[in-house]
Amino acid sequence: MRIWTLIGFILLTGYARISFAQQVPAGDENIPFLMTFGNKAEPSWGDDDFCQTFFFLIPESYNDPVYIRIFDPDITGEHDELNGIFDTETTFEIYGGEKCQSELDAQETEPTGNYKSGDLLSFKSFGQDSKYDNDWYTFGPFNPTEGEWVEKWIGRVFKIIIEGVDGDDGNLYRMFLSTEQNTNKAVEGANAFAYEYSFRMHNNPAEVSHIYPFVDDRTVTVRQSNFDWDNDGLIRIVSVARKGQLSNVSGDDLWDEDQFQIVEGEHNTSLDMQLIKSKSPAVRNNNVVINVRNQYNELLPFFVIPLGGVPQYKYNIGVRKQASK
Ligand SMILES: [Ca+2]
Ligand SMILES: [Ca+2]
Ligand SMILES: [Ca+2]
Ligand SMILES: [Ca+2]
């Protein structure tokens, strides 16, 4: 009896990992919602530029059509943040083709220059559409060959740009890269990444969210910048060589930043930036923005499924690091 319960548990947890693997944000991140405000909101609501860009990475081996599904793309009813009356409009645009990711403006944090590079494949504007409240809208199908080939990530990339084009409310939403039009079925080996996250923190102070910037072999120093954190707890950085380094968070309507050196062993791994909320006072409905740059001022991508896995601190690397100081 007990052994069957155990086997059932293993199967269930394995299934859960697969089925949530390509939700954006993904399971290990434990971020409840992405967030984009209408462009008439004050940035003090937690969104500095009313725009979010995400990239979906399809592995070279996958050739069947894919769908990009959005949960709660509307701005009314459940999940969304009301400011006065609901009067916000948000556009979702999907790009593929040459330059959709490799264009440098598309890899920046601000919606300026040629950030809408590539070919516009699909577009929809959402407002107070109760049809999509607490429900899904599906873009696609897209043929993987419509994406841009990116040698560095050995796959094809699609871009989605989400912009608040009117109003002052907060659109909260999630996404899923699916092989199916009407259900969420993960694309094996796929991933998603962004160069800046705008998102809603949990309301429960016991919940810890994570982002996983990938440190390539050119990275010497990194600088994390965060906006409108409302002094909600702290950021704790864990890596294969870092046991738990504390980093700055910003106040209301402010940016703050912190710079540190990358050490031996951290190249070609992800950092685990643990976003630990304040226990008291509890901060509710906290919307925040974060990005991480290297010494060349280039942004490090956050992959929803961390490259190389969730980093675990290895005692040996830490000891060697200290001995060489
Ligand atoms: Ca409003
Ligand atoms: Ca809603
Ligand atoms: Ca929404
Ligand atoms: Ca905030």
**259 Cα: distance to centroid of ligand 4 (angstroms):** 21
**252 Cα: distance to centroid of ligand 4 (angstroms):** 6
**169 Cα: distance to centroid of ligand 3 (angstroms):** 10
Q: What is the mean pLDDT of residues 143-166?
A: 97
**78 Cα: distance to centroid of ligand 2 (angstroms):** 4
Query: Which ligand sits nearest to residue 250's alpha carbon?
Result: 4
On the CB side of 290, how many CA atoms lie within 13 Å of its CA?
29
* Longest alpha-carbon distance in the chain: 63
The pLDDT score that the predictor gives to residue 272 is 98
The pLDDT score that the predictor gives to residue 12 is 42
Distance separating alpha carbons of residues 229 and 167, to the nearest angstrom: 23
Three-class SS of residue 320?
Answer: helix
Predicted confidence band at 316 (pLDDT cuts at 50, 70, 90)?
A: confident
Render pLDDT for 203-214 as a digit per residue (tens, 0 to 9).
Answer: 999 999 999 999
Does the structure show a pLDDT above 80 at 1?
A: no
Distance separating alpha carbons of residues 175 and 92, to the nearest angstrom: 11
Render pLDDT for 27-67 as a digit per residue (tens, 0 to 9).
Answer: 999 999 999 999 999 999 999 999 999 999 999 999 999 99
Query: Which ligand sits nearest to residue 275's alpha carbon?
Result: 4
Q: What is the mean pLDDT of residues 253-260?
A: 98
Three-class SS of residue 318?
Answer: helix
Render pLDDT for 78-113 as a digit per residue (tens, 0 to 9).
Answer: 999 999 999 999 999 999 999 999 999 999 999 999
Among 183, 185, 176, CA closest to 70: 176
**87 Cα: distance to centroid of ligand 1 (angstroms):** 5
Distance separating alpha carbons of residues 303 and 237, to the nearest angstrom: 16
Query: Which ligand sits nearest to residue 33's alpha carbon?
Result: 3
Q: What is the mean pLDDT of residues 295-323?
A: 84
**253 Cα: distance to centroid of ligand 4 (angstroms):** 7
Render pLDDT for 265-277 as a digit per residue (tens, 0 to 9).
Answer: 999 999 999 999 9
The pLDDT score that the predictor gives to residue 144 is 98
Around ion ligand 4, residues with a beta carbon closer than 5 Å are 46, 228, 230, 286-287
Query: Which ligand sits nearest to residue 287's alpha carbon?
Result: 4
**209 Cα: distance to centroid of ligand 4 (angstroms):** 15
Mean pLDDT of the chain: 92
Three-class SS of residue 11?
Answer: helix
**287 Cα: distance to centroid of ligand 2 (angstroms):** 16
Query: Which ligand sits nearest to residue 82's alpha carbon?
Result: 1
Query: Which ligand sits nearest to residue 87's alpha carbon?
Result: 1
**121 Cα: distance to centroid of ligand 1 (angstroms):** 30
CA 173 to chain centre: 12
Query: Which ligand sits nearest to residue 129's alpha carbon?
Result: 2
**200 Cα: distance to centroid of ligand 3 (angstroms):** 12
